[in-house]
Chain A
């Protein structure tokens, strides 16, 4: 039995996709820039949501993968003249390797210790890169690919990342791993005794998130042209991702999309106010946690039952 909202959800998503896919044709340069930022933030926040909202892994160290992926891309393409798209993929691969190494340490910790462990790793990377001659210390690197891609190409790469991140989370959540993850999030002890392989599921999500975050960072730094350790490994990245997911709705697939849209528009609108913009973002985030702890999409789901993408399988639902 297929419920009525089924049609709407593909309609809304399809319209959004067509709108974004044709943006270079009808949009201005400024709109293309906003679209690019929206796609990149949607991909990054989708991954933070996969970890924190679904897997119970509170990560404060996503910037480790952003910096590592970005630097891998910059080094391989500028030093070794490797094709830009291959370099971006290489950033994803090295991020997975980094995540594997990190997991040796941080998967022994749980809860807040895990969060701090990821953050400390990012800080270590920042210090290491700012003391490393190979990447020109703290002064940073210019990304000089052999064939610099056009803005439209970069935009489509960003759109690909946004769609890939969404599809990945959707597929993971509807697979056996996803069902196990949600059972685990609700009650770790019970789900473990029911045969959910907690460790492997969590590690799988951690590695997937590392790959997509590292690749997305590659696209981001192709666009930004310049990478520097104090910016790339800064906790500010995770601050933004937290903000996006909280506003949109933690533990919902649509949340990061809605949150990214609001974040990009809000930060563009507030950017002329300088530091006040961050201050206001902080205040808005606190108000939302106090008033609507489940964010915009979470509250909407609770009130109306409206869901764009349900992680549940439709046939297992009662006809609504």
Chain B
């Protein structure tokens, strides 16, 4: 029983990180009905940006967020405004394929600039743990979890309370009516994407500190995000949090019982079973 406590607690902490990774994808899904297949690659782009800043300026990774967050906001804004908005329509494929193209471009761009070698952002807290009885709490995982909860809290606050957040949701509910009310929907969607990329930037820096990454790791995190969204339900932030924890638990407990080689496999298998039983996700509404 005690041996189980370690993976269970790590799973909860890791789940917080998974939730932030998926947050940008799920909000864009909910608002623009857009499936951003480049989400994972944009997140890894943030990891590399942070790595470059840490390496050349010698600053702390958390400080690098001051630069990475605005850069990613602009990247997201431009991507939506000049590329994705132009193909949004009743057909699902064109925006999906444009995002796919962006994903391929980003991966190969990262490969050119940063080489295929494994990279990681080293910090003083990388190897520190807190001892609680027989359980070792990795400080980094704890930081991932706390920051993850904060990001979800503030994003919910933004979308529920602020004028801009409510304008974005209004535009998502009824584009025509929002336009009549004087809301420029194309800018609104671009801002929403910029905000999604802010969460991706934070997720990217956290992932960069927690795991090693390669130019091709993006799709792996995209699938994790999909898993979180599928379990938690479409466009639901609270669902993303629960989904993250369930997915991380499935992976870590799977690894605990069957060996690390099967960690990802068991996570995916749990995902498929949930999908087969409840195609709309645990928290999603049937449509």
Chain A interface (Cβ < 8 Å from any Cβ of B): 52, 58, 104-106, 108-113, 115-117, 119-121, 123-124, 127-128, 130-131, 235, 239, 242, 246, 250, 275-276, 278-279, 281-283, 285-286, 289-290, 293
Not counting A113-B230, A130-B261, a sample of 10 additional A-B residue pairs whose C-beta atoms are within 8 angstroms of each other reads A105-B272, A111-B92, A112-B96, A116-B226, A120-B272, A124-B269, A127-B265, A275-B111, A283-B105, A286-B98
Return the contact of A289 from the options B97, B227, B275 (Cβ within 8 A).
B97
Return the contact of A278 from the options B83, B94, B108, B269 (Cβ within 8 A).
B108
| CB within 8 Å: A-B pair count | 102
Q: In the complex, how many angstroms separate the beta carbon of A61 from the nearest chain B beta carbon? A: 11
Given contacts A127-B264, A286-B83, are A58 and B223 in contact (CB under 8 A)? Answer: no
Majority secondary structure of chain A interface residues (helix, strand, loop or mixed): helix
Contact call A276/B104, Cβ cutoff below 8 A: no
Q: In the complex, how many angstroms separate the beta carbon of A280 from the nearest chain B beta carbon? A: 9
A119 cross-chain contacts in B, Cβ below 8 A: 223
Q: In the complex, how many angstroms separate the beta carbon of A279 from the nearest chain B beta carbon? A: 4
Interface flag for B86 (CB, 8 Å)? yes
Interface flag for B279 (CB, 8 Å)? yes
Return the contact of B275 from the options A113, A130, A250 (Cβ within 8 A).
A113
Chain B interface (Cβ < 8 Å from any Cβ of A): 35, 83, 86-87, 92-94, 96-98, 100-105, 107-109, 111-112, 219, 223, 226-227, 230, 261-262, 264-265, 268-269, 271-272, 275-276, 279
Given contacts A104-B276, A105-B276, A286-B98, are A276 and B262 in contact (CB under 8 A)? Answer: no
**Whole-angstrom distance between the alpha carbons of A281 and B98 in the complex?**
12
Chain B, residue nearest A137 (CB): B261
Q: Which of B92, B98, B230, B279 has the most chain A CB atoms inside 10 A of its CB?
A: B279
Return the contact of B97 from the options A105, A242, A283 (Cβ within 8 A).
A242
**Whole-angstrom distance between the alpha carbons of A279 and B105 in the complex?**
5
Q: Which of A58, A112, A115, A250 has the most chain B CB atoms inside 10 A of its CB?
A: A112
Interface CB pairs A-B, < 8 A, 19? A58-B96, A104-B276, A106-B275, A108-B275, A112-B92, A116-B223, A120-B271, A124-B272, A242-B97, A276-B112, A278-B107, A279-B105, A282-B101, A283-B101, A285-B100, A286-B83, A289-B98, A290-B98, A293-B87
B269 cross-chain contacts in A, Cβ below 8 A: 124
Q: In the complex, how many angstroms separate the beta carbon of B19 from the nearest chain A beta carbon? A: 18
